Chains A and B, each alone.
Chain A
Amino acid sequence: MNEKIKKASRHTNQNEGLIFEKSSPGKRAFELPPLDVPAAEPAKALGALHRKEGIKGFPEVSEIEVIRHFTRLSTWNHAIDLGMYPLGSCTMKYNPRVNEFVARLEGIATEHPYQPQDLSQGCLKILRLLEKCLLEITGMDAITLQPAAGAQGELTGLLLIRAYLQKQGDPRKKVLIPDSAHGTNPATAVIAGYEVENIKSGAQGQVDVEGLRKLVTEDVAALMITNPSTLGVFEQRLPEIAQILHAKGALLYMDGANMNALTGITRPGDLGVDVMHLNLHKTFSTPHGGGGPGAGPVAMKKILEPFRPVPILVEKENGRLALEPIRPDSIGRVKAFSSNFGVLVRALAYILAYGPGVRQATEDAVLNANYIRKHLEGVYELPYSLPSMHEVVFSDALQKKNGVNTMDIAKRLIDYGFHPYTTAFPLIVPGALMIEPTESESHEECDLFIDAMKSIAEEAATKPEIVKTAPHTTRVRRLDEVGAARKPVLRWKPAAPRSTAAD
């Protein structure tokens, strides 16, 4: 083992095949209580609709095998619970366990979305309090908690803008999106029925305000901007940008993916933003769970309120809360059954744990990013030098000279016990290393990360081969992604019966 690798050591992990390969007829891991009514004869009740033969290939295993199977698989993952996960833009912070506990309470997890609203006041109060907290944090006037994730929040936001402009006679044609934006922004604009006009970032990586002035015409519905930008830099001229848009009747959409840099410090509503989404699975600590579920509430100014997706949460005169299904100007529903409620519960639990002290989390997140920047500046190239907020973006320009690129460095970081940073994004930085430590990392963990990054830089200069062939310590080595895409194998199939010589 390399003595510079301080965080991780050798570790045995178990091999494990696919669950289908362990199956043997007659084994079982689940038993039902006996049926207490007369059995129905499926063949008689269903006739030709009956699947007589059962589900071919479905697993048949015991409970201990299920536990071992998934436990073994789990040990092949890196996780926040194991250590730093500095994926830029993803805000991999600690996911408090109490949030999981309260989301599973009897009376919370058990509630049906169609039960009478008089029997749902607890759920509705949770939604109401979360709405109020998020409005206070964003400085906005109205909110919808319905969208299931950030991308659906973006769509909801653009549909609100579209409905608002349509109401005035013309939905307009274009949405402007900086070249540093997340891929979801342009993909969303298309679904909302808009053409995308990509705008080039200025020399400092920010929106080129003078250039923007020329681009904002009566055809433009909105600008989608990420603030802080994907470079981790605050858009200082945002209020001015808002004015430019408003002067032409266009609106300002803010991608709130990076709200972890602003919470408790400044409010998008005060900066001139008209509508924004929040990623509760980023800023508000709900677990990423290997890719979801998330939630993407959309906060907005008063002018957009009439267009919110139904149902709308309202306070009745008697103090009761209700979900109202009909609003004449609503954009409609974006998902069935009100929201990803269980995710909202977790986010509220997080907010209540901090209260106004959530500002401290923001400060620590920015402190960590700047601390890492300070120690790695010069070791890695810093393409844009404006002050960093919650994340810092380097490039692999120095290491490239030795044939080592950002992906190689990222893979080598795995050997040092860290999850890689985000590679090759934003697109405006060739060979980007996008590092977001979040507030959840201690002084010590940040130092270990810095040491690892310095050590890798040294390796890149002196023995680049070890970096280019990393990782060296994982269960599997670099995987053949080209082959996977060329001949996709997307499901298990039982092995074909062995052919015999007679065939």
Chain B
Amino acid sequence: MRYLPKSPVERQEMLAAIGAKSMDELFSSIPEKYRLREALKIPGPYSEAEVIQYFKERAAENAAGYTSFLGAGVYNHLRSVVTDTIIQRGEFLTSYTPYQAEISQGTLQAIFEFQTLMCQLTGQDVANASMYDGSTATTEAVLMAQRLTGRQRVLVARSVHPEYRDVLKTYAKNSGLRIEEIPFTASGTVDAKALQAALKDDLAAVVVQSPNFFGAIESYAPLAEAAHAVGAMFVVAITEGISLGLLRPPAEADIVAMEAQSFGLPPSYGGPFAGVIAAREKYVRQMPGRLAGQTTDSEGHRGFVLTLATREQHIRREKATSNICTNQALCALAATVHLTLLGKEGLREMAEQNLAKARFALAELLKIPGVRRTFDAPFFNEFTVELPRSVKIVNSHLVREKIVGPLALGTPYPELTKHALVCVTETTPRAEIERFAGALKRALEQPV
């Protein structure tokens, strides 16, 4: 087997050195009757060429070659080949969590740079070294608010990603949290009146997303003010990080939970991505997850270490702020490299192109008879439209023209049947937007 660096002779030599007669003897502590007598029934062994062939065949059964208008928390953006070149360096790819700081300075400094970038983007003071994804980051942000306020009630906007809310509910069930949802207005943003009516001094957090699940951008100040008026934490979730190249950061938030997928990570059928928690400095000791900090060595040189570990499970066990151990370090590194490549101007330009293309697409779609915009709030690269017939039927027509159509909103939001969430990024050429509009027009004209 090509991964195993031993010859049969070497195995015999090593067994002899141990004083064992056979490999079997090494497993003598496993009761005889529980030892497998037959080979496992799994396919293989495959040569490298066969492994590649298997996955190429599977890839061909997917949607390669289709133009997609899906977003909803997972976005297609340009990526430089430099990012993968860097993260595939063995020194990053095949190293462990940097507990041994003297021989992990590369990873540690990169995490420190990641934390800095996340703070700059979100307008917060501190950010951690990553969570699993945006959904668990949002959940951990709420649990953090629960610890900080000692309160149990949480208001979550219905315009927060439905799967993020699902994950929060799973975690909340056994942590004493009571989750209530706040509706959205006809503009597609959080219903501030409903929020006002639900405010009480038992509130731990108000959770909103911006741009929200419908693509609508929230105004933070009044929402933050409402939360703070009853001593609750204002938590902002961000699924589309590229929006921060143009949008004011959620500086009013106490805790920000962000998905970093847009920063150089491919959609990869849903993961791995990287979640981020950023917050005010005074809350750092209640943060979950790893943190890299700057320090000096015994000769006074700058260096970095994992720090404030007394929050974490390997030290605190049942009293830890979270059970997270392995995070998404390599994804966070990819985001660091990608954002460094983009830089200040590149990120702004990418965001501007998203803004322009989404507006162009909306204008094209609104030329089609019967297509209407659902919400009128400002948007970034996603918007919601109402179609004169079922989104699912329309999408089945689009597929025949090699287009993956927009997301049907009827399942998560029964009141939005016939409404679709359209995403357009800098990766979608004008010609494809026009082809999509043409195909959509034809699909709507098809007999039922």
Contact = CB atoms under 8 A, between A and B. Distances in A.
A336 B63 contact: no
B343 A95 contact: no
B193 interface: no
B3 A265 contact: no
Interface stretch (B223-231, B266-274, B368-376): B266-274
A90 interface: yes
Interface stretch (A28-36, A208-216, A393-401, A458-466): A28-36
B137 to A, nearest CB: 10
B326 A294 contact: yes
A254 B424 CA distance: 45
B191 interface: no
B307 A236 contact: no
Interface stretch (B7-15, B147-155, B180-188, B195-203): B7-15
B127 A71 contact: no
A28 B343 contact: yes
A349 B56 CA distance: 12
B301 interface: yes
A488 B170 contact: no
Contacts of A270: 34
A133 B41 CA distance: 8
B393 interface: no
Contact of B105 (A35, A73, A236, A352): A73
Nearest to B210: A49
B39 interface: yes
B112 interface: yes
Secondary structure class of chain A's binding surface, majority of residues:
loop
Contact of A332 (B41, B98, B109, B170): B170
Given A75-B91, A149-B325, A480-B296, A112 B267 contact: yes
A328 interface: no
Contacts, number: 686
Interface stretch (A243-251, A297-305, A438-446, A495-503): A438-446
Contacts of A73: 105-107, 109-110
A113 B360 contact: no
Contact of A488 (B92, B269, B293): B293
A55 B244 contact: yes
A287 B191 CA distance: 45
Contacts of B15: 367
Contacts of B389: none
B45 A38 contact: no
Interface string A32-69: 10011111101001111111001111111101001101
Interface in A354-392: 354-361, 363-364, 366-368, 370-371, 374-375, 386-387, 389
A228 to B, nearest CB: 9
Contacts of A335: 132-133, 135-136, 167, 271
Given A151-B313, A485-B293, A266 B35 contact: yes
B258 interface: no
Interface string A152-167: 1011000100100000
B248 A49 contact: yes
A340 B353 contact: no
How big is chain A's contact interface, by range? 35 or more
A107 interface: yes
B44 interface: yes
How big is chain B's contact interface, by range? 35 or more
Which of B36, B94, B109 is the most central at the interface, judged by chain A CB atoms within 10 Å of its CB?
Answer: B94
B297 interface: yes
Interface string A302-335: 0000000100000000000000010000011111
Interface string A7-45: 000000000101110010001111110011111101001
A77 B80 contact: no
A474 interface: yes
B42 to A, nearest CB: 5
A414 B103 contact: yes
B318 A190 contact: yes
Contact of B60 (A85, A122, A271): A122
Given A187-B320, A290-B98, A370-B20, A123 B175 contact: no
A363 B15 CA distance: 11
A78 B102 CA distance: 9
A111 interface: yes
Nearest to A387: B29
A63 B82 contact: yes
B74 interface: yes
B333 A290 contact: yes
A176 interface: no
A6 B290 CA distance: 35
A341 B6 contact: no
A109 B102 contact: no
A79 B91 contact: yes
A150 B1 contact: no
A341 B268 contact: yes
B299 A477 contact: yes
23 contacts: A40-B356, A40-B359, A55-B348, A109-B267, A110-B267, A112-B74, A115-B68, A148-B132, A159-B170, A183-B317, A186-B317, A288-B96, A291-B96, A293-B331, A336-B135, A337-B269, A355-B43, A360-B1, A446-B14, A474-B103, A477-B301, A479-B295, A479-B296
